[in-house]
Structure 1
């Protein structure tokens, strides 16, 4: 059993990003989305830790975030936070599909 440390780190980054959006801007929606997608990603990392072929929850969360944050980055042009989260999510999607 190999623990999916990258998946858990990605989930923590999502949850922390949602919390920081709430703390800095008072965005409750950012907190809710961060906790939801962070939880789904953590659950996916937990599932991958037991069966490496069970990556669907992680793929759902990272794919959805890649699309949404990619669109936000394209519209705003701001690297932080939309560009960074879009890039991390895209890397996670590629990691899940390749490995």
Structure 2
């Protein structure tokens, strides 16, 4: 079974973003959200690695994070970090949808 490298990379990026947000501005919500969504993304990547058709957690995590960070980007008009995370989330969402349609 191929490892979901894209999913695991996304999980690391989200978790790292939360940690960087905490270190730069002592934002506990940033840390909590980054670690929570990063863990969920890692769980989704693990499930996709075990069964490529099982994309529910990946799909839900990336859709939720895309909506939240997209809204934050819309309000702030700052690409980093909100626009970047929304873009990454959209890409992972599209990958998950593609896998769903081609199974």
TM-score range, shorter chain: over 0.9
Alignment gaps of 5+ in structure 2: none
Which runs of structure 2 are paired with 1:59-70 in the superposition (5 Å)?
A: 59-70=59-70
- For residues 45-88 of structure 1, give each alpha carbon's deviation from its aligned partner in whole angstroms, at most 9, with x where no partner exists: 00000101111111111000000000000000000000000000
How far the C-alpha of 1:10 sits from its partner, in A, is 0.2
Note the residue ranges of structure 1 that are not aligned, 5 or more in a row: none
Question: Stretches of 4+ moved more than 6 A in 1?
Answer: none
1:11-60 residue CA offsets vs partner (Å, 9 max, x unmatched) = 00000000000000110000000000000000110000010111111111
Q: Which residue of 2 aligns with 1:15?
A: 15
What CA distance in whole angstroms lies between the structure 1 residues aligned with 2:59 and 2:98?
12
